[in-house]
Amino acid sequence: MSSVPSVTRRHLLEYFGSIGLSSTLLPGVLWAKAQERPEQQEGKLTRDMLKGAAAVAGLAFTDEQLDAMIDGLTQNVERYRELREIPLGNAVPLTLHFSPLTPGMTVDRTPRPVRTSTVPQAQRPARLEDAAYWPLVQLAELVRSRRVRSVELTEMYLARLRRINPTLNCVVTFTDELAMQQARRADTEIAAGRYRGPLHGIPWGAKDIIAVKGYPTTWGSGAFKEQQIDEDAGVVELLREAGAVLIAKLTTGELAGGDQWFGGRTNSPWDPNEGSSGSSAGPASATAGGGVAFGIGTETSGSILSPASICGATGLRPTYGRVSRAGVMTLSWSQDRVGPLCRTVDDCALVLRAIARPDGRDFSVVDYPLNWDATREIHALRIGYLENAFAEQGRDAVLQTNDAAALAQLRALGLSLVPFSLPDLPMLRVTSAILGVESATAFDEFARSGGEARLTTPGRGAGFHRGHFVPAIEYLQAQRVRGLIMQQFADATAPFDVWVAPYIDMRAPRPAPAAPGTTPPPAPPPGPILTHFSVANLCGYPCVSVPNGFNAKGQPTNVTFLARPYHEAELLAVAKAYQDAAGWHRRHPAL
């Protein structure tokens, strides 16, 4: 093979022709049309077109090799056109399923009774809104004991959420009629002795990429703000079975990215001048602001952990395959996850317990028990801490102080913390194609129909076209490299049941984007914190974010706990012990 030429605009046009896509997908329609050749009009690929396609893929072939491929590739183009005639919207699933398990990993498959925290007899406050920030376990005791009816609690949260929403901008749609129906049903059942458990009668909110029948599911985008999906998501069905009361569809960054949606920016309850981060912007903001008892969010790459950190909530990203994603907008079939945003670790465990089971709709979900025991003895667990991440240079001094205090608190609990660091993982960079290709595939029909012009955020859809330039072979090779990284990560963390790491400082200044028409400078290599979280996310590991203090501006900071796949019971037990001792979750914003 000859040397690979630099990719030019002509190469991109040739590439589009070679896969049967219109050149009008690139800017400059008239210029593009002028470049079309007679052979292209006849539907026959040419040697030049294949050279352009090869350059885009970073490859080069001899003329003889290209001539030998032309007929077969021309037939492929016809198949691509036929394929694109088949409706494949975002909800159509992928038949391949990712597993976070690597050879040698074990999972506890024996169900055991759930043991919840002992809650003192809860007294009804003189003013019910004084319970708005109470943990779910205490609210549950109020409802179970019938000191507060679900209807009263629901009316309180609906009124409060309406009052704080102009400040937080965290609600897309209130679901009053559904909420009051569910609350009245809960009161009737509890009065008749049919108590379903700690979520029965408890008000909650759903990120607005989660479908709820009869209400809009907007995906945070102006392109979809009138969309109604004629089904309930799997997680909505499971929470209805648990007796929970849905009071609102909460905001998401557009198409599950960031905190900007078609209604503006969602804000942090601690500092409304600061965005909440995202994309589970609304569930984090509303929960931390005392607008719902808990929220359900989703994460592909930081979308639960990041807003939990900014808003001072407790956020749990479960193991990949724990919770059904049926009826939830797809961004990445092999990375999307659904999880709770709550006020405490204990609450996260109770919510996860209700939603962590197969629903017969998402076949990536496995039937492994979540044996939550809030009274578990944790001193026998092996605890590590990511030493080089805590020592990373250039971090804010207050963050380092808060992190050091968190480690000291864990040691004060009698835990022995073992330092470790990850090996170099230069292969990580090549796996970025996985998310890009999967999201481009999930939104391919939308992008090819010109849907990006209706998006609220300019440029949000650019990645949907870039996915066409990743060869199928390179995507699959990246998945194979992912397997190598998973094994390295499993080996590095194998000595531990749970480990502690600082989270990425989302408030740190970012470099300014390159000016149009210029080449951006090469990105600096990621530090140990970013590397660790990128790998843990790529590998499908569970993680919980817990508040660990405040910065100089009075904004919350956090620390994170991680564990091996499907070991949330150990993960949550250690995180709960830290949270109960540190007590940062007992502070609330002054809304």
Q: Which of the residues are catalytic?
A: 207, 279, 303
How far is the CA of 131 from the CAs of 88, 125, 250, 400, in angstroms?
46, 7, 21, 33
* Strand pairing class (245-250; 203-207): parallel
| Separation between Cα atoms, residue 238 and residue 359, nearest integer Å | 8
| Separation between Cα atoms, residue 378 and residue 487, nearest integer Å | 27
Q: What are phi and psi of 418, to 5 degrees?
A: -105, 125
- Please list, residue by residue across 111-144, b when 16 or more beta carbons sit within 10 angstroms of its beta carbon and e when fewer do: eeebebbebeebeeeeebeebbbbbbbbbbbbbb
Find where tokens 């979520």 sit.
Answer: 199
End-to-end CA separation in angstroms for the chain: 66
Count how many residues are written for the chain.
591
Q: What are phi and psi of 339, to 5 degrees?
A: -160, 170
Three-state DSSP string of 57-109 = CCCCCCHHHHHHHHHHHHHHHHHHHHHHCCCCCCCCCCCCCCCCCCCCCCCCC
Q: What is the DSSP string of 172-219?
A: EEE-HHHHHHHHHHHHHHHHTT----TTTT-EEEEETTB--TTSB--T
Tokens matching residue 269: 């309850």
CA angle at 535 for the pair 370 and 577, rounded to the nearest 5°: 40
